[in-house]
A and B are shown apart, each in its own frame.
Chain A
Amino acid sequence: MQSIKQQWFGNVRGDILSGIVVALALIPEAIAFSIIAGVDPMVGLYASFCIAVIIAFVGGRPGMISAATGAMALLMVPLVKDHGLDYLLAATILTGIIQILFGVFKVAKVMKFIPNAVMIGFVNSLAILIFLAQVPHFIGISTMTYVFVAVTLLLVYTLPRFIKVLPAPLIAIVGLTAVALFSGVELKTIGDLGNITQTLPSFLIPNVPFTFETLQIILPYSIALAIVGLLESLLTSQIVDDMTATESDKNKEARGQGIANFINGFFGGMAGCAMIGQSVINVKSGGRGRLSTLVAGLFLIFLIIVLGDLVVKIPMPVLVGIMIMVSIGTFDWNSFKYLIKAPRTDAFVMLATVIIVVYTHDLSKGVIAGVILSAIFFVVKISTLKITKQDYRYIVDGQLFFASTDAFIDYFKKEEMQEKNIQIDFSNSRIWDDSGVGALLKVKGMLSENGIKVEVVGLDASSQKVITQLDGMTSSH
């Protein structure tokens, strides 16, 4: 891995430029995610500023962008609705503590056990939920709303062909806000949904009673936020690792996300995590080092302080158009091919993850269900045992352990044997546990009662040893 100096100052020019591009792309998302969570735009903007700046110092993956995200915002909705902003800030701080613990106890490794099917389901359901969150802001409001959403989408998808220096969403925002202001069309604006305060965030302690009851309210949310945040952060870091052909410290990243959220909560920001889309923008714009993340955060808050009163004039339909683009970009379009080509159980797990998330509006529930489902499928798959007969030889294919012993014993119970001497061949099999050893001994005993002599061949050394020892014991009395 690179030296600290290299991580900070190895790519100064590229990092500053890309940081600026990311800051511009971050603002609409931070605002939109605040609206999804049901809080003031400032909560998402402060979060994006705090997290980006802190993670630049303590993160494990240089060049990755972390800020307020859709995945996290979607989890907070009920908490904000039922208990308000202060509980959200308290939950954010607790999320930070849990994530720091994840980092300390090296939970990042566990993420390796999450199957691809679940991760694909995760990004797809995230995309669907971000899209669904936009629906109330453009369906059945006014004709002009539809027009502005459509024009925004047209601009963000066609402009990049001609203009490569400036991000297309920024041009769409500036251009269409100007059009809306000068033409005087009736459109909802960001200002209608919340305020922009043109000040730096300041330290505060969430105004919640420090009681067990409060903990009971926020803990479930914090656990879900911690898991989802870590999941998206580690997926993103893997993507950045690949794009830049470098490696990163996953446990340091988990700890870093925790530190960032912990401090962020005290400065009025909502919990966040790494962002796939923004990190890709950063790397594509030439960002590689920690400086890019720092510049993104600093430039974002600078823009808000300077241009805050213009930001509130951005029409909602334009923001909606940009968020539809974000959701299209988040969706994994190879999933359709995956559904056809992947093993049936994987395709099922992916679909189940999506359906559970979309139904419950909770990404963590979908992920947990997906992981449990695939674990069950995995056990079922490896517990299938095939036994084929060749003359006097029974060849076992598959793993013999607690889940497959019944199939093994049943086969020999049902089998009608003519031979007096048979062989059971374990060359293509392996005995994993005591249940497996027990099952083999049981079959041997069963057959010898019928006067059939069994020879076991092809066992690995350790199982062979156990079998010989136990066999000796049983025949001695």
Chain B
Amino acid sequence: MYKHILLAADGSENAVRAAKEAIKIASCSSDSLVEIVYVANIDKAKSEVLHTRSNEALNLERRKKIQNIEQLLRDASISYNVRILHGAPGPEIVKYANEQVVDLVIIGSRGLNGLQEMVLGSVSHKVMKRVNCPALIVK
């Protein structure tokens, strides 16, 4: 089935729900690999650097945002790895998914960004439109 599953994560509730679906799908076959992708938004780099002591601390903070998802996958004994990308969240996920030729992209319907994305997150929307493989958007 789906061997290489890209799970987009941003530390939001929706991402956790997406992770649960990823686990269901990955459990179907023993050789599925889930790749947790977190995109550090370039637009926030200035503020993030200003508010943390060092770049090492900043990377640790990002890692902490996906900690709960890692835990879920570990508990379900799914093999996974973590990748932190830097750029604009939507395009970066699309670029990475297409380059790596993943079999499936799973993403929450909307992330942490507020009002403007009440209906469907712009990131989810972009990913859905431009990714070259099936995509699962989790409500």
Complex: A333 Cα to B49 Cα, angstroms: 13
Q: B42: which of A120, A123, A243, A332 is its contact (CB, 8 Å)?
A: A243
Which residues in A have their C-beta under 8 angstroms from that of B54? 112
- Give chain A's interface residue range (CB within 8 Å of chain B): 20 to 34
Q: Judging by beta carbons under 8 Å apart, are A119 and B50 in contact?
A: yes
Could you tell me which B residues sit within 8 Å of A by CB distance?
40, 42-43, 45-55, 58, 84, 86, 88
Complex: A238 Cα to B52 Cα, angstroms: 11
Complex: A471 Cα to B14 Cα, angstroms: 64
Which residues in A have their C-beta under 8 angstroms from that of B46? 123, 239, 276, 280, 332
Least CB distance from A273 to B in Å reads: 16
Residue ID in chain A nearest B54 by CB atoms: A112
The contact sample of 27 A-B pairs, CB cut-off 8 A, is A116-B51, A116-B52, A116-B53, A119-B50, A120-B51, A123-B46, A238-B55, A239-B46, A239-B49, A241-B55, A242-B40, A242-B49, A242-B58, A242-B86, A243-B42, A244-B86, A245-B84, A276-B46, A280-B42, A280-B43, A280-B45, A280-B46, A283-B42, A284-B88, A332-B46, A332-B47, A334-B47
Using A276-B46, A332-B46 as known contacts, say yes or no to A242 and B51 having CB atoms under 8 A apart. Answer: no
Least CB distance from B86 to A in Å reads: 5
Which residues in A have their C-beta under 8 angstroms from that of B84? 245
Complex: A84 Cα to B50 Cα, angstroms: 36
Q: Judging by beta carbons under 8 Å apart, are B50 and A332 in contact?
A: yes
Could you tell me which A residues sit within 8 Å of B by CB distance?
112, 116, 119-120, 123, 235, 238-239, 241-245, 276, 280, 283-284, 332-334, 338
Q: Judging by beta carbons under 8 Å apart, are A338 and B51 in contact?
A: yes
Which residues in B have their C-beta under 8 angstroms from that of A119? 50
Give the secondary structure class of B's interface.
Answer: helix
Q: Which of B48, B84, B88 has the most CB of A within 10 A?
A: B48
Complex: A120 Cα to B52 Cα, angstroms: 11
Least CB distance from A280 to B in Å reads: 7
Which residues in B have their C-beta under 8 angstroms from that of A280? 42-43, 45-46
Q: Judging by beta carbons under 8 Å apart, are B50 and A242 in contact?
A: no
Which residues in A have their C-beta under 8 angstroms from that of B58? 242
Q: B50: which of A120, A244, A283 is its contact (CB, 8 Å)?
A: A120
Least CB distance from A253 to B in Å reads: 15
Least CB distance from A120 to B in Å reads: 5
Using A242-B40, A242-B86, A243-B86 as known contacts, say yes or no to A235 and B51 having CB atoms under 8 A apart. Answer: no
Which residues in A have their C-beta under 8 angstroms from that of B49? 235, 238-239, 242
Q: Judging by beta carbons under 8 Å apart, are A239 and B45 in contact?
A: yes
Complex: A243 Cα to B45 Cα, angstroms: 6
Complex: A334 Cα to B48 Cα, angstroms: 9
Complex: A333 Cα to B44 Cα, angstroms: 11
Using A280-B42, A284-B42 as known contacts, say yes or no to A242 and B48 having CB atoms under 8 A apart. Answer: yes
Which residues in A have their C-beta under 8 angstroms from that of B52? 116
Complex: A120 Cα to B51 Cα, angstroms: 8
Which residues in A have their C-beta under 8 angstroms from that of B55? 238, 241-242
Complex: A334 Cα to B49 Cα, angstroms: 12
Which residues in B have their C-beta under 8 angstroms from that of A284? 42-43, 88
Residue ID in chain A nearest B53 by CB atoms: A116
Which residues in B have their C-beta under 8 angstroms from that of A239? 45-46, 49
Complex: A215 Cα to B3 Cα, angstroms: 70
Complex: A334 Cα to B51 Cα, angstroms: 9
Least CB distance from A427 to B in Å reads: 28
Residue ID in chain A nearest B58 by CB atoms: A242
Which residues in A have their C-beta under 8 angstroms from that of B40? 242
Residue ID in chain B nearest A235 by CB atoms: B49
Q: Judging by beta carbons under 8 Å apart, are B53 and A242 in contact?
A: no
Complex: A384 Cα to B45 Cα, angstroms: 35
